[in-house]
Structure 1
């Protein structure tokens, strides 16, 4: 995967892309990052990328020319038939794990990180394929949102995680929140690990994990249960969980 990032503050990405899973993914050649200051594409001698909004109002608006030219150049260099151009924007669709899985199947992603009051609408209407919001709040710019999306996508790429099953049972990947986890010691200051996890009975352990995932989802995010089709077995476990929770 090739990931191009258009930003006015490229230094913000140095630490994030150079650490942990994102860095390891690049080392494994699963992904290639390219952080670009789109001010370099401005066609005026002062490299200005913003201007006052027509009709008046507070703040400045990003001009279309630098973004249009930058995206066209990056598309040409990538030579990918299916580039996704992603605008980080509070007006975009709410980001979730399904979207991460969708983007992880692509070969080329371009992220546009805006600042100031907003974007010229012609950017949104003509070159953007996806508008994404990471939540119902406003950030100073799109950089932090882009980092969140990039992290969630890159970890899904083949061979990036040490264990390919790691992300398959993550919260939201199955439609449910993930079950609780425990590690050594089995008894920590009188706080004990559930006996079933020490039993060695893999069938009972798997059943416990499924029920606890359902329990946690029911208690914390019951809205998620309305969005997935439970198996007959999961439905049975859910009814047991509801009885136990009363």
Structure 2
């Protein structure tokens, strides 16, 4: 088994036997936002990240993906990565020496500001503000848990921030990692076809997005609100703001409370 993690991106998949070409590839991707993912299932990546806008940006070298196979750092003949919980209990826990070795390998390939995050249901809720912060970094290293989680000493030693997608439990962190990466990559310059989309969508200003409509003008007896067909941009903007506020007030009182507090 190779000790070199696979890298996904436009430059990393171009075959070449010329050392100069390889050097130019590394130089070109040195500016790309980088997602390192420590996982027991590296073949799960890029998954949906290889499709649509994120997939195009990956091929264009706007960002790059480095899945790091946790299993290759395992102990013994069978590459064991886990052990029974200290103090007893059900399930297995990922070993600190194994995870630590994987993190050290990831850090050797890191550059600039690349925080290490652990996808965990007990972590800080992931939101659009965090996505913006991470997108402004040079990249991120994501640790995907399995079984009963990761030895706490690893999290403490590397000062790893725990991040949660919501108040639910999944079988592992891979799906959560892909969701987090998608939310960050789409905020990178050059990924969205219309840069204004990132400004107008849900959570960009603390509110849910207003309803959207398109042709035909009438469907199943339902019509597009007249104001959207008026061509009066100020009235349209006011209508959209009012709709966003009403939806947020009804569906997300937590967001509405924070929004009102910011407005004084």
Residue 15 of structure 1 aligns with which residue?
47
Report deviation, 1:186.
1.1
Alignment match of 1:99 (pick from 115, 120, 130):
130
Residue 109 of structure 1 aligns with which residue?
140
- What's the CA shift string for 1:85-124, capped at 9, x where partnerless? 1100111111111111111111021111011111111111
What TM-score results when the alignment is normalised by the length of structure 2?
0.83
Residue 38 of structure 1 aligns with which residue?
70
Provide the aligned C-alpha RMSD in A: 1.7
Structure 1 Cα separation of the partners of residues 41 and 123 of structure 2: 22
- 1:63 equivalent to 2:95? Answer yes
Alignment match of 2:210 (pick from 179, 182, 187):
179
What TM-score results when the alignment is normalised by the length of structure 1?
0.89
Structure 2 Cα separation of the partners of residues 163 and 86 of structure 1: 29
Report deviation, 1:162.
0.3
Structure 2 Cα separation of the partners of residues 231 and 87 of structure 1: 30
Give 3-state SS (helix, strand or coil) of 1:69's partner: helix
Report deviation, 1:231.
8.7
Across the two proteins, how many residue pairs are aligned to each other?
Answer: 232
CA contact (8 A) 1:6 1:110 kept: yes
Q: Which runs of 5+ in 1 are unaligned?
A: 236-246
Report deviation, 1:130.
1.8
C-alpha change, 1:8 and 1:182, in structure 2 (3 Å) is same
CA contact (8 A) 2:68 2:106 kept: no
4+ residue segments displaced more than 4 Å: 229-232
C-alpha change, 1:219 and 1:77, in structure 2 (3 Å) is same
Give 3-state SS (helix, strand or coil) of 2:38's partner: strand
